[in-house]
Amino acid sequence: MVDAHLRRIFLLSFTLGLTTLAFIIAKTGRDALFFQGSGGLLQLPLIYIYIAGASLPLAMIFVKAMKTWGARPARVGILSTAAAVMAAAAPFLQPGDNTLLLIMFMFIPAIFGLVFASLWLLASDIFEKTEKKEAARAFSKIGAGTLAGGMLGGMISKALAFSRGRQMADLSKRDHHRGCDCHRRIHPWPVSQSNSSSKSRREKETSISDANRQQLCTRPFGYFDDRRSCRLAH
């Protein structure tokens, strides 16, 4: 009896913790893609109105499914639907303003709301006839498992963001050096044509040209025009 009770607590804690972990990672990735668009932040008020409006019919559909097929099939169905939709949409998501990303931005909180509601409803059904002290102790452990899943999801999201950020920084650095090299090929060092010019004048021209080239290479995003010119030249 005790082993069965502990097993229920562990399974519920693990399930809710894993669900919270998935929600945090999916939400972080969704936000990272969505806010790269120019109007992502300005669309938030209207989007959250849409999410609130979509939550009611989704809840009614879920309750109808529970009455029709039972609680367990409906619960498995909502979990399977959430996983299938996110797995199918993930390869096609692009950063910025696009319809698919907007749909996923609203889908993730709406579907996970139903998932969390169904799991906590399951927990309340399991411990409905348990003593209050035992139920309170069980729910505290389940809540701790949920918090642990959220913390782990946050750490994984941070690690992924750090890794992705370093990859983008390395790519930007390579493009930066490639643009500077292209600029040097298009704009070679000036050579004085006059044989009567003095050595000090040549050194002055060389230092000015070097300074201008260094300024172009270090200016943020200033090398893109030169890269385009380089491609056209070839």
Question: Would you give the DSSP letter of residue 97?
Answer: S
Tokens (6 digits) for 233: 């030249």
Residue type, 57: P
Q: Please give the pLDDT value at position 200.
A: 57
- Sign for the CA dihedral angle at 175, 177, 179, 182 comes to negative
Neighbours of 138 (CB within 10 A): 20
Cα 100 from Cα 93, distance rounded (Å): 7
Q: Is 131 helix (H, G, I), strand (E, B) or coil?
A: coil
Six-digit token pair at 76? 């498995």
Q: Using CA atoms, how far apart are residues 184 and 202, in angstroms rounded to an integer?
A: 18
* C-alpha 54, offset from chain centre: 22
**And the tokens for 33?**
């893609």
Give the angle subtended at the CA of 49 by the CAs of 48 and 54, to the nearest 5°: 95
Least confidently predicted of 5-19, 53-67, 185-199, 218-232: 218-232
Tell me the per-residue pLDDT of 180-204, one tens digit each, with 9 for 90 and over: 554 455 555 454 444 445 555 555 5
Q: What is the pLDDT of residues 113-160, one digit of tens each?
A: 999 999 998 988 888 888 888 888 899 999 999 999 999 999 998 888
Q: Is 35 exposed, middle or buried (0-12, 13-18, 19+ CB in 10 A)?
A: middle
Contact 20, 153 (CB under 8 A): yes
Decide: pTM greater than 0.85.
Answer: no
111 residue type, one letter: I
The pair of structure tokens assigned to 126 is 């399991």
Q: How far apart are CA 179 and CA 193, in angstroms?
A: 28
